[in-house]
Amino acid sequence: MILLSNASLDRIVITGRMFMGLQCLMIFVWSVC
């Protein structure tokens, strides 16, 4: 088990949210078009 520092963990969470948001946005655009 690797313990991550809060800074790296927050970075992973932010990156994950941005990736999920981008994926949802692309799906929404594809649905509209």
Compare 19 and 2 and report the one with higher pLDDT.
19
Indicate whether 6 pLDDT > 70: yes
Contact 4, 12 (CB under 8 A): yes
Mean pLDDT computed over every residue of the chain: 86
Tokens representing 9 are 């963990």
Long-range contacts of the stretch 25-33 (C-beta < 8 A, 24+): none
Indicate whether 33 pLDDT > 80: no
Indicate whether 1 pLDDT > 70: no
Please tell me whether the overall predicted TM-score, pTM, comes out greater than 0.85 for this model.
no
